[in-house]
Structure 1
């Protein structure tokens, strides 16, 4: 028996979410629908210009862990915060979701990471992230017993930026595979892919990573092509399983010669796409660790993503099991 279904590893970030129009983005040099890394000075300047905002614990892998716990799965999380107010908020929130979290805080400097997320009327989110304490996550924060007792360990591509985190992730992959577990990652962002294409491909081709999550733009960027089908063929050769989301077109699950297409969940209103990919991963991994078929994994992923994009914030505020029950998945 495994103590955890999924261990997720990522940047522990508090999201500060505000609505704006496209002119605000252009006036302030914000790249739309991307994750822009910023320094402390830029963070303060953008925060001063924000309208009314909602603060919510986020971070890609943290959102995934919260979604898995919401579904009833056993989730754990590694991620670094500081001993400050935002760090206390993050730790409280993720534990309140039912996620195991004991990563030691880092002192008071650098401060806990925060991401200012500007949501335009079309629901797209543009993230401006100050990583702060996140970059201090390293091998000493790896709890080997937790990795060994998790069916799948999952990390976000964003975490590949800090050098110490790279070694921690490699250590986790070694421990996971030594105990017959699987390792998974999300490509996170097309800009992230462009920075680390060769390294991500090596992780996949070497067998360090078993399951890969990506969206259409990311998989095209990974293989430097505009041919989606060709990209799917290539990723099928490079990893055991790939789950590729296609926004309103749903998702495709790739395993060898298999291509399993899953329709997007019908929604009433698109409110905020923040966390859509994170929650897709949570639904998929929850179902995967429960032994469901790959098609069901895709359906759970699309369901969780469909729920979260109809609200403000990256973590579901309603019951995912009830939504799954209503959809006939359980």
Structure 2
């Protein structure tokens, strides 16, 4: 069995709520960021959100999972290494992953514990704020890597959020090393500006001697380079990645194929929920380049797909929404 993409990342059951700005002030939550919380904070926040706003949507999530599922729905053969517990949320997670056509290391016995959860709070301006209880996903370990599946892949895709746990970071670094041994290309995402801001050394360790393809947004690129000018950040990105894609929100994206820096046009949409936009961009992009398309075409598909994600609620598109988007290729 060969794969286009082998992903490794956190496994979180996403619970989405529509809230107002006043909620953050009252709850003392920083808007627009991903914040790690403990199990007690999760229980308390979940009970408040459920009572005051009502659960809008539940899905298997985690940044790289959304990317891998997007690529799978476009038609890529994919594998996802993660860690969920032998609880109801874990059962739900694995079933949801497999329903999307993704193979996983979690299809057998699973450890006791609590499956990670992410409370996604979306405001009327479409900004997404996340409070995450990692649970058992913070114990993602080198033992979870399926080397045979990795070796049979064209790309590995590493999630930047793994930097926050020592064992997860070690697993991510091991995936990069195994990929190099087996001649598999390495793609990585920074995942969130907070990861570059607070865990820069760990991310540099994960990047090692460089990756083949890096995904980041404008803010993450500038934080990495220590500049407030994207143009100054580009040469720094080139030091760490042979190729890269930088998302610019409503301004579209930039994609560097190793020779040419392509400007990717945006798709004007009414934003409803920004959750998952970057994940979908990476999934569509990886699908395109593993199916014979160049960076310009990959950027067009990724831009269109991420715009569609932003224009509806939830971090992903439904299976049937993917095929019509391929016209952008």
One fold, TM greater than 0.5?
yes
The one of 102, 123, 126 equivalent to 2:126 is 123
C-alpha separation between the residues in 2 aligned to 1:155 and 1:59? 12
The corresponding residue for 2:4 is: 5
The corresponding residue for 1:252 is: 254
Q: How does 1:1-330 map to 2 (within 5 A)?
A: 3-50=2-49, 51-53=53-55, 54-103=57-106, 106-109=110-113, 111-204=114-207, 206-207=209-210, 209-256=211-258, 258-267=260-269, 269-317=270-318, 318-325=320-327, 327=328, 329=329
Can you give the 5+ residue segments of structure 2 that lack an aligned partner in the other structure? Answer: none
- TM superposition shift of 1:166: 1.9
Alpha-carbon deviations, 1:266-316, whole Å to 9, x = none?
Answer: 33x311111000000001101111121111111121122112112211121
State the SS of the aligned residue for 2:80: strand
* Contact 1:283–1:303, Cα closer than 8 Å, also in 2: no
State the SS of the aligned residue for 1:206: coil
C-alpha separation between the residues in 1 aligned to 2:177 and 2:159? 17
* Contact 1:236–1:257, Cα closer than 8 Å, also in 2: no
* Contact 1:115–1:128, Cα closer than 8 Å, also in 2: yes
Can you give the 5+ residue segments of structure 1 that lack an aligned partner in the other structure? Answer: none
Alpha-carbon deviations, 1:131-162, whole Å to 9, x = none?
Answer: 00101110111100011011100011101211
TM-score normalised to the size of structure 2? 0.94
* Contact 2:151–2:182, Cα closer than 8 Å, also in 1: yes
- TM superposition shift of 1:238: 2.3
Give the RMSD, CA atoms, in angstroms: 1.5
Alpha-carbon deviations, 1:25-74, whole Å to 9, x = none?
Answer: 12111111111100011111111111111211111011011100110111
C-alpha separation between the residues in 2 aligned to 1:223 and 1:204? 14
- TM superposition shift of 1:199: 3.4
State the SS of the aligned residue for 2:156: strand
* Contact 2:215–2:246, Cα closer than 8 Å, also in 1: yes
State the SS of the aligned residue for 1:231: helix
